[in-house]
Structure 1
């Protein structure tokens, strides 16, 4: 297996691993307010999340920052809960206007940094063992993450389309139900943390 395959597949598995579903939960709540025609905005958000994730890995691998894994593992479900609650609040308002993509983009970038820190200690060990060049593996890993995220986003958008077009579920109800579901999954993750 080539180095590219190794790190690209590691990025894919990082997102698509059933045991590491926090990444998928974040992508779900990030995507549910959008439909297929909003694909440019969704792609922008997903890419910004990958950029944030990659920046935190770069800073960690090159020794610029060190993180307390327990604190980061506590913060990750909080970012998911904040996004879910934001969706619920926006969808619940009768005069809900579309949010500024700039605000959501900045928040998504910041949340990507937090999520990347959660994987940084493990990734630092893998890169130090397997490579003299640290930047290329990081970029290959990021490409794997981006690919997996696009797959998840497409699944969410397709499910949204099917439910709204064929089963006449309103967009508002779709956002509320999915965001409430994700919030219900992450609250026990938060309250079960040692920090809580």
Structure 2
């Protein structure tokens, strides 16, 4: 049965995107990572937020621009948005609610992961108690400002149980199970 996995690269000070959604900071940290290389084959579908889908790309101005995992993965993609674009995007289904996003992406993933991209989508999945796991790839840089990994004014505690850790020269990978 498919599981919802929020996988995200994060600066050492807790930001997943720089100011204005800038993702160019990540370019220097996209080197080989066996955990990610192995994960790609276990992803059956992608669920992204609209800002993530249409936002900055660390592969900008390269042949991998706009490709999931820099071109290492292909398959069904779902984008959670209030307004779908006027023209269809090949391979992308636009969905309008967390419930619809969960149902369609899990069905498409089969027995693999739905890889979740975007802080707002992950937050919505946590509120719906639909997020199963979190993979945080911590990079050796501090951005000082930007989009936080998880931000909930007034506070919300989400308990996580660490299930795996590994490290490469440019990242520390921490895999958690979400505990509701």
Q: Give TM-score, length-normalised by structure 1.
A: 0.22
User: In proportion to residue count, which structure has more helix?
Assistant: 1
Work out which structure has the larger RCO, using CA pairs closer than 8 Å and 6 or more positions apart in sequence.
1
User: In proportion to residue count, which structure has more strand?
Assistant: 2
Q: Give TM-score, length-normalised by structure 2.
A: 0.23
Rg bigger for which structure? Answer: 1
